[in-house]
Structure 1
Amino acid sequence: MSTENIKAETRTEFGKGAARRIRREHKVPAVLYGHGNDTRHVTLPGHETMMALKHGGTNALLELEIDGEKQLALTKQVQVDPIRRTLEHIDFVAVRRGEKVTVEVPVSIVGDAAPETLVVVDTNEIELEAEATNIPETIEIDIEGFEVGTQVLAGQLTLPSGSTLLLDPETLVVNVTAAPTAEEVEAELEEAEAEAGIERDESDEEKAEAAEGAEDEQGDDDKGGDEE
């Protein structure tokens, strides 16, 4: 895992008003805590920090330079504006090189399972312990050619050197099942709509079938009347 260097400024103003002013300047308010030190409030450059987080992934490790002092900081929580997709606030925890940290690493699926199968990811993140400077961005699982009934448990995952699994080894991560038929999908959809109280409009095909059925029924009635 590479470490991005970000120059931070000590923040002395707090509250929503101060945070809004910081964001208007295209900067990001953040806090740094850990190792028994007092929480440090800082301001980071917006674009540079956004790019560093995109490059580093969920557990991005940054080297913050605060008042001439450098501190490794592991990203713990990122708040993003749901509309503008800009950074709102970041929580970091201070770490040291060689230190072991507990993180949750996302699962990444590669390859294609056998035809007519459905690949279900039951566990999206894997909890593990790793060196702060060697946290994997993802845990890759190759499902190439997997047949129906194939399962991948947490204990079967290949972890990077120096990482230790903290999740129960018997936890189901990936499950390969038979792909549902179109009829099964339609039946499940109708059941879900019925439970939600949704009335579906008839399609043109259904209307045509209903009209044809009505004509056939009317024809039978006419025949019956002639026989009388």
Structure 2
Amino acid sequence: MAEIKIAAEPRENFGKGAARQLRREGKIPAVLYGHKQEPVHLSLPEHELFLALKNSNVLLNLDIVGSKSELAIPKAVSKDPVKRTLEHIDLLLVRLGEKVTVDVPIVTTGEIASGGLLELVLTSLSVETEATHIPSSIEVSVAGLAEGTQITAAEVALPEGTTLVTDGEAVVVHVLTPAATMVEDESAEGAGGESEGSAE
């Protein structure tokens, strides 16, 4: 995982007006909470935060003005629904060695056997891992998998120190038979045509 140092400033003005003013200044309002401490209201530089969030499960090393540095992971990021620009972020305070539950994206490697069609059923796995050693991704090898084969969450090899939270019986990847898929599609189309005819 990536650990990125980012400047943070305490903020005392709240509300929508104050948040809009911050964003005009190129800063994003943030709230840091956790460990039964009072929430800390901060502002973070928009550009640096945007780049940091491009890293999956990034660990932020917050260099807070007038206070000590803190480690945090993003818990909720709000974006403008149209512009997709950052609007607000909630951060969870973490400590060295502490365990957290996070969703880690799945990356498939290798090529399935000829003739099959790979279906990625789950795009991520929920795992428990050390807050300072969150894997950026989990690799699932599909090399040589034949039609009809599937891999469940319990069969995925996890990084050392990481335990599975997702249901172990959940299917992660499945190799479909293209011919069977086409037959199902044609049957569905036929059923739709009959329905239309009866409606007339």
Q: TM-score range by the shorter chain?
A: 0.7 to 0.9
Q: Aligned residue for 1:28? A: 28
Distance 1:152 1:46, change over 3 A: same
Distance 1:22 1:192, change over 3 A: farther
Give, in angstroms, the shift of residue 189 of structure 1.
7.7
AA aligned opposite 2:29: P
Distance 1:103 1:68, change over 3 A: same
AA aligned opposite 1:36: K
- Give the number of equivalent residue pairs: 193
Is it true that 1:65 corresponds to 2:63 in the alignment?
A: yes
AA aligned opposite 2:77: V
Between structures 1 and 2, the one with greater strand share: 2
Give, in angstroms, the shift of residue 128 of structure 1.
1.0
Distance 1:150 1:42, change over 3 A: same
Q: Give ranges in structure 1 of 5+ residues lacking alignment.
A: 198-228
Is it true that 1:187 corresponds to 2:183 in the alignment?
A: no
Q: Aligned residue for 1:13? A: 13
Quick one: distance in 2 between partners of 1:192 and 1:76?
Answer: 46
Between structures 1 and 2, the one with greater helix share: 1
Is it true that 1:135 corresponds to 2:125 in the alignment?
A: no
Greater relative contact order (CA < 8 Å, ≥ 6 in sequence): 2
Q: Structure 2 matches for 1:47-196, cutoff 5 A?
A: 47-54=47-54, 56-57=55-56, 59-66=57-64, 67-180=66-179, 184=183, 187=186, 190=189
* SS of 2:50 mapped into structure 1: helix
AA aligned opposite 2:26: H
Give, in angstroms, the shift of residue 93 of structure 1.
0.4
Distance 1:131 1:183, change over 3 A: closer
Quick one: distance in 1 between partners of 2:192 and 2:142?
Answer: 33
Point out the more displaced range, 110-119 or 21-30: 110-119
* SS of 2:22 mapped into structure 1: helix
Could you give the per-residue CA deviations for residues 63-95 of structure 1, whole angstroms, max 9, x where no partner exists? 111123100001111122233232111111000
Quick one: distance in 2 between partners of 1:184 and 1:106?
Answer: 32
Q: Give ranges in structure 2 of 5+ residues lacking alignment.
A: none
Distance 1:26 1:158, change over 3 A: same
* SS of 1:50 mapped into structure 2: helix
Quick one: distance in 2 between partners of 1:90 and 1:192?
Answer: 48
AA aligned opposite 1:71: E
AA aligned opposite 2:172: V
Distance 1:176 1:182, change over 3 A: closer
Q: What TM-score, normalized to structure 2?
A: 0.87
Could you give the per-residue CA deviations for residues 102-137 of structure 1, whole angstroms, max 9, x where no partner exists? 111121122322233221222222111101111011
Equivalent pairs: percent with the same residue? Answer: 45
- Structure 1 stretches of 4+ with a deviation exceeding 6 A read 191-194
* RMSD of Structure 2 on Structure 1 (CA): 2.2
Distance 1:172 1:181, change over 3 A: closer
* SS of 1:51 mapped into structure 2: helix
